[in-house]
């Protein structure tokens, strides 16, 4: 063995893990490249930038990842931040294609400003597609990205831009912490949540921290006493065990207080203990010992060894009543389970420094399925974000096969999880041998038998009210989309012909525009799918104009004179701030409004908008329309109609009065009427109210109410 170089000694010193000679040389080479690439660059803390990749590498080294991942961690920012001094080809030549692939994936994900909060645009879906695709190419991409985000959140107080700081915290809480949860990497998930919570809700964070600290010493003394009791009892039974105390993290406490409407004094599981034993048999033996010391609470024993969670988590959980009369949660697992519980998918991925492709396939397939559904428009981004954050239930088929479903799932979700065709022909379900309604919420341990009617015409749109899983919703939407494909294509062509006439070209010629061809290529779709998206409103009239391009759009603007909107809005206490109208509620002049501070500036919402209810009051400002406000504003009306025959006439009447109908969707309901969603452009609340009265005069119209323009 040769004497280590100065760089190799430095790497060995900061990683503090055993390394073979070849591994050390590889990491030393990666470190030298990182130092060269980041030379002269500094973080907002004032430290040399190289400190960051070193800390990211140390986080991953503590998780026992492979040397390729560690090398990529050292280089994860160098392509983006070295101003061309280090490229992917340099990395490939020096360290090989695997390191290059991971660095490339992390670079792509880092360039994505993930959509968070109330933002909702087509670009929002596309950014998540890119993120999922980069992760699916090599799962180690997300391992490095999670470690990168963890160190950035640990040092976020050095960031001076408050808007940037809040955006990063929200992105962490909505995207990265849930992904860590799905991967089972709880050691990272909990810290990301608490760090984000501190930035986004500082007063609540400080209050919970204060409440926890009040009796911290008392809880620590109690916990040590419980640990000593259990250790002694296990020794008497001949069971070797490592006993740990555990305390609930701040964000978890805050969520429980908010979701269950509890006071702090009612949260009893602030502390718990964990027994780590030798093998599975010892886990069950330990459970018996625990119940011999303390009485178990009925219904609070969870066996995640026999039925692991979908992210691979295994453990026994039991809640007992101690001698002090207080509940105490006890977790029991063996050494391997404990490592998997802390590091989740990373522990599965790395096994004796070999990549376990088989254990990754399920997650990769899920990522690709989400991506396909987003591309097809049958799955919505909010569904994906919710699913990432969901807790689960596990239920059984009559043959004993376990199915993991999001908490709140129904028998319809279960049917679709077995097979799409089983779901489409669902006609009922038995749970634990008894018939249940379609809206029944499944519980862990339920045995579910699905009843199938092969002669049924397919699912009902009403099922979307009951189902929980985003994949179930996507399959139901896709069914109806396929059924209506011909009608959607025809409607899409009609809309596009209107656009093409403004350019004095045929539809066929417009479809050959470079911008249109590039869009089709980027989405991986053909012309029929493009027509369908326009027909169903996934792509609006305005979206098509934007797609064609600014240069061509100027021709349209010149050929169709339009009054330029002047959004005259006065914000209490705020001057010279950029304002945007919220897409979620579509305010129009005359609506009572408020301003909400966002990273874009000030977003104007209707005062009764649901999204305003969840906003920190400190971000809300009084607002009012000024008399000078003019222009056309997007809004929406929802109609219940007995037939579709009058829809054409309705549009003609509206357009004759200067009211543009940009988007129209029609859904047939089981109550024998149609639900029509109509996106309009109006100049004021008065014009909107007049439009409602106009539509109510049609014989087939049962009701007209205002909806959301999205």
Report the domain count for the chain: 6
Q: From CA 419, how far away is CA 710, in angstroms rounded? A: 31
- Distance spanning both ends of the chain, measured CA to CA: 66
Tell me the three state secondary structure of residue 121. coil
Q: From CA 343, how far away is CA 454, in angstroms rounded? A: 45
Say whether pLDDT at 360 is over 70: no
Q: Contact at 8 Å (CB) between 81 and 37? A: yes
Q: List active site positions.
A: 80-81
Lowest model confidence (mean pLDDT) among 20-29, 95-104, 242-251: 242-251
**Beta strand 569-571 pairing with 620-625:** antiparallel
- Name residues whose C-beta falls within 8 Å of residue 549's C-beta, 6 or more positions apart in sequence: 513, 515
Q: From CA 461, how far away is CA 464, in angstroms rounded? A: 6
Task: Kindly state whether residues 23 and 162 are assigned to the same domain.
Answer: yes
Question: What integer is the mean pLDDT of 437-459?
Answer: 86
* Last residue of one domain, picked from the residues 129, 154, 185: 185
| H or E element, residue 74 | helix 67-75
Question: What integer is the mean pLDDT of 511-527?
Answer: 81
Q: Is the dihedral of CA 679, 684, 687, 693 positive or negative?
A: positive
Say whether pLDDT at 71 is over 90: yes
Q: Contact at 8 Å (CB) between 155 and 43? A: yes
Q: 315 pLDDT band (50/70/90 cuts)?
A: very high
Asked whether residue 352 is domain-assigned, the answer is: no
Q: Which of 649, 652, 654 is nearest to 691 (CA)?
A: 654
Q: Is the dihedral of CA 463, 464, 469, 472 positive or negative?
A: positive
Q: 219 pLDDT band (50/70/90 cuts)?
A: confident
Q: Contact at 8 Å (CB) between 76 and 103? A: yes
Q: 130 pLDDT band (50/70/90 cuts)?
A: low
Tell me which range, 101-110, 140-149, 166-175, 595-604, is most confidently predicted by mean pLDDT: 140-149
Question: What integer is the mean pLDDT of 557-579?
Answer: 55
Report phi then psi at 580, rounded to 5: -135, 145
* Last residue of one domain, picked from the residues 482, 501, 516: 482
| CATH assignment of the domain containing 665 | 3.30.70.260
Say whether pLDDT at 551 is over 90: no
Question: What integer is the mean pLDDT of 384-398?
Answer: 65
Say whether pLDDT at 118 is over 60: no
Q: From CA 218, how far away is CA 509, in angstroms rounded? A: 77
Tell me the three state secondary structure of residue 704. strand
Question: Is the model more confident about 644 or about 240?
Answer: 240
Q: 358 pLDDT band (50/70/90 cuts)?
A: very low
Radius of gyration of the chain (CA): 29
Task: Kindly state whether residues 252 and 337 are assigned to the same domain.
Answer: yes
Q: From CA 371, how far away is CA 378, in angstroms rounded? A: 10
Q: Contact at 8 Å (CB) between 469 and 387? A: yes
Q: From CA 418, how far away is CA 534, in angstroms rounded? A: 33
Percent of the chain exceeding pLDDT 70 equals 80
Question: What integer is the mean pLDDT of 661-686?
Answer: 80
User: So what's the pLDDT on residue 222?
Assistant: 86
Place of tokens 């408020």: 594
Task: Kindly state whether residues 28 and 154 are assigned to the same domain.
Answer: yes
406 bridge partner residues: 392
Q: From CA 180, how far away is CA 101, in angstroms rounded? A: 21
Q: Which of 344, 339, 332 is nearest to 305 (CA)?
A: 332
Asked whether residue 1 is domain-assigned, the answer is: no
Question: Is the model more confident about 444 or about 679?
Answer: 679
Q: Which of 517, 532, 432 is nearest to 483 (CA)?
A: 532
Cα dist from 590 to 324, 633, 693, whole Å: 61, 12, 17
Question: Is the model more confident about 332 or about 313?
Answer: 332
CA atoms within 13 A on the CB side of 57: 28
Question: Is the model more confident about 707 or about 192?
Answer: 192
Q: 630 pLDDT band (50/70/90 cuts)?
A: low
Tell me which range, 2-11, 142-151, 200-209, 318-327, is most confidently predicted by mean pLDDT: 142-151
Q: 285 pLDDT band (50/70/90 cuts)?
A: very high
Q: From CA 333, how far away is CA 85, in angstroms rounded? A: 49
Task: Kindly state whether residues 16 and 163 are assigned to the same domain.
Answer: yes
Say whether pLDDT at 552 is over 70: no
Alpha-helical runs (H) found in 410-540: 411-418, 420-424, 463-466, 470-483, 485-502, 507-510, 514-523, 527-536
Cα dist from 563 to 168, 557, 566, 632, 683, whole Å: 38, 10, 9, 8, 11
Asked whether residue 368 is domain-assigned, the answer is: no
* Last residue of one domain, picked from the residues 526, 559, 592: 559
**Beta strand 601-606 pairing with 633-641:** unpaired
Asked whether residue 616 is domain-assigned, the answer is: yes
Say whether pLDDT at 576 is over 60: no
Task: Kindly state whether residues 428 and 467 are assigned to the same domain.
Answer: yes
Q: Contact at 8 Å (CB) between 594 and 623? A: yes
Q: How many CB atoms within 10 Å of residue 489? A: 20
| CATH assignment of the domain containing 448 | 3.10.20.30
Say whether pLDDT at 365 is over 60: no
Task: Kindly state whether residues 477 and 488 are assigned to the same domain.
Answer: no
Say whether pLDDT at 493 is over 60: yes
Q: From CA 62, how far away is CA 44, in angstroms rounded? A: 26
| Angle (CA) 53 57 58, round 5° | 120
Say whether pLDDT at 442 is over 70: yes
Tell me which range, 270-279, 344-353, 616-625, is most confidently predicted by mean pLDDT: 270-279
Question: What integer is the mean pLDDT of 324-350?
Answer: 77
CA atoms within 13 A on the CB side of 437: 5
Task: Kindly state whether residues 165 and 229 are assigned to the same domain.
Answer: no
Task: Kindly state whether residues 24 and 161 are assigned to the same domain.
Answer: yes
Q: 352 pLDDT band (50/70/90 cuts)?
A: very low
Place of tokens 């993930």: 114
Asked whether residue 102 is domain-assigned, the answer is: yes
The H helix count followed by the E strand count for the chain is 33, 21
SS (H, E, C) 196-248: HHHHHCHHHHHHHHHHHHHCHHHHHHHHHHHHHHHHHHHHHCCCCEEEEEEEC
Q: Contact at 8 Å (CB) between 64 and 155? A: no
User: So what's the pLDDT on residue 310?
Assistant: 66
| CATH assignment of the domain containing 253 | 3.30.460.10
| CATH assignment of the domain containing 162 | 1.10.3210.10
Q: Contact at 8 Å (CB) between 450 and 411? A: yes
Say whether pLDDT at 14 is over 70: yes
Report phi then psi at 34, rounded to 5: -65, -45
Asked whether residue 201 is domain-assigned, the answer is: no
Q: 142 pLDDT band (50/70/90 cuts)?
A: confident
Question: What integer is the mean pLDDT of 49-60?
Answer: 94
Say whether pLDDT at 330 is over 60: yes
Q: From CA 565, how far away is CA 584, in angstroms rounded? A: 19
- Domain range for 542 is 484-559
CA atoms within 13 A on the CB side of 323: 9
Question: Is the model more confident about 368 or about 248?
Answer: 248
Mean pLDDT, rounded, of the chain: 79
User: So what's the pLDDT on residue 124?
Assistant: 43
User: So what's the pLDDT on residue 513?
Assistant: 85
Task: Kindly state whether residues 238 and 262 are assigned to the same domain.
Answer: yes
Tell me the three state secondary structure of residue 555. helix
Asked whether residue 75 is domain-assigned, the answer is: yes
Task: Kindly state whether residues 446 and 488 are assigned to the same domain.
Answer: no
Burial 530-565 (b: 16+ CB within 10 A, else e): bbbbbbbbbbbbebbbebbeeebeeeeeeeeeeeee
Say whether pLDDT at 420 is over 80: yes
Q: Contact at 8 Å (CB) between 95 and 71? A: yes
Task: Kindly state whether residues 335 and 442 are assigned to the same domain.
Answer: no
Task: Kindly state whether residues 175 and 64 are assigned to the same domain.
Answer: yes
Q: 206 pLDDT band (50/70/90 cuts)?
A: confident
- Name residues whose C-beta falls within 8 Å of residue 54's C-beta, 6 or more positions apart in sequence: 14, 31, 74
Tell me which range, 74-78, 256-260, 293-297, 531-535, is most confidently predicted by mean pLDDT: 74-78
Question: What integer is the mean pLDDT of 168-185?
Answer: 80
Asked whether residue 337 is domain-assigned, the answer is: yes
Q: Contact at 8 Å (CB) between 277 and 241? A: yes
Q: List the structure tokens of 710.
A: 């999205």
User: So what's the pLDDT on residue 561?
Assistant: 39
């Amino acid at each position: 063995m040769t004497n280590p170089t100065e760089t190799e000694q430095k790497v060995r010193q900061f990683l503090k893990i055993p390394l073979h000679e070849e591994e050390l040389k590889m990491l030393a080479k990666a470190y030298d490249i990182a130092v060269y690439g980041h030379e002269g660059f500094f973080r907002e803390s004032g430290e040399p930038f190289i400190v960051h990749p070193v800390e990211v590498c140390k986080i991953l080294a503590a998780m026992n990842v492979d040397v390729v991942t560690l090398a990529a961690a050292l280089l994860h920012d160098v392509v983006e931040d070295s101003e061309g001094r280090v490229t992917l080809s340099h990395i490939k030549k020096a360290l090989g294609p695997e390191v290059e692939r991971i660095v490339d994936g992390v670079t792509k994900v880092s360039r994505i400003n993930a959509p968070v909060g109330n933002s909702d645009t087509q670009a929002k879906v596309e950014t998540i597609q890119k993120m999922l695709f980069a992760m699916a190419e090599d799962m180690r991409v997300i391992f490095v990205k999670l470690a990168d985000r963890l160190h950035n959140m640990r040092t976020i107080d050095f960031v001076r831009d408050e808007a940037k700081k809040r955006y990063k915290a929200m992105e962490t809480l909505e995207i990265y912490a849930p992904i860590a949860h799905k991967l089972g990497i709880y050691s990272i998930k909990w810290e990301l949540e608490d760090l984000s919570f501190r930035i986004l809700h500082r007063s609540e964070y400080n209050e919970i921290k204060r409440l926890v600290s009040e009796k911290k010493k008392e809880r620590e003394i109690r916990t040590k006493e419980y640990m000593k009791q259990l250790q002694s009892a296990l020794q008497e039974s001949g069971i070797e065990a490592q006993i740990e105390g555990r305390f609930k993290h701040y964000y978890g406490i805050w969520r429980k207080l908010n979701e269950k409407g509890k006071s702090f004094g009612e949260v009893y599981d602030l502390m718990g203990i964990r027994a780590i034993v030798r093998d599975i048999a010892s886990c069950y033996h330990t459970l018996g010992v625990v119940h011999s010391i303390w009485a178990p609470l009925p219904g609070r024993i969870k066996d995640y060894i026999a039925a692991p969670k979908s992210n691979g988590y295994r453990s026994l959980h039991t809640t007992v009543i101690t001698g002090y009369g207080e509940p105490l949660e006890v977790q029991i697992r063996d050494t391997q389970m404990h490592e998997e519980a802390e590091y989740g998918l990373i522990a599965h991925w790395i096994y004796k420094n070999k990549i376990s492709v088989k254990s990754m396939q399920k997650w990769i397939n899920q990522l690709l399925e989400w991506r396909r559904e987003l591309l097809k428009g049958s799955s919505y981004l909010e569904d994906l974000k919710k699913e990432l954050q969901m807790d689960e239930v596990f239920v059984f088929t009559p043959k004993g096969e376990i199915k993991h479903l999001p908490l709140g799932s129904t028998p319809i979700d279960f049917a679709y999880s077995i097979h799409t065709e089983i779901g489409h022909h669902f006609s009922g379900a038995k749970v634990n041998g008894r018939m249940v309604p379609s809206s029944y919420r499944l519980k862990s341990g339920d045995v579910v038998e699905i009843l199938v009617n092969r002669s049924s015409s397919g699912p009902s749109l009403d099922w979307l009210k009951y189902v929980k899983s985003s994949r179930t919703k996507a399959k139901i939407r896709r069914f109806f989309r396929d059924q209506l494909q011909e009608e959607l294509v025809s409607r899409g062509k009609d809309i596009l012909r209107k656009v093409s006439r403004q350019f004095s070209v045929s539809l066929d010629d417009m479809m050959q525009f470079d911008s249109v061809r590039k869009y089709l290529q980027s989405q991986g779709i053909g012309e029929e799918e493009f027509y369908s998206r326009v027909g169903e409103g996934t792509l609006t009239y305005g979206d098509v104009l934007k797609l064609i391009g600014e240069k061509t759009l100027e021709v349209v603007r010149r050929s169709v004179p339009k009054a330029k909107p002047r959004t005259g809005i006065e914000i209490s206490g705020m001057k010279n701030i950029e304002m945007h109208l919220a897409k979620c509620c579509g305010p129009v002049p005359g609506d009572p409004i408020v301003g909400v501070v966002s990273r874009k500036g000030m977003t104007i919402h209707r005062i009764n908008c649901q999204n305003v209810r969840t906003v920190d009051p400190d971000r809300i400002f009084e607002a009012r329309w000024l008399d000078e406000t003019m222009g056309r504003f997007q809004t929406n009306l929802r109609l219940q109609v007995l037939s579709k025959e009058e829809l054409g006439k309705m549009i003609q009447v509206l357009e004759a009065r200067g009211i543009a109908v940009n988007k129209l969707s029609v859904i047939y309901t089981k109550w024998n009427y149609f639900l029509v969603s109509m996106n309009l452009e109006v100049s004021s609340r008065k014009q909107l109210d007049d439009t409602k009265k106009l539509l109510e005069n049609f014989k087939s119209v049962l009701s007209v109410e205002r909806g959301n323009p999205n």
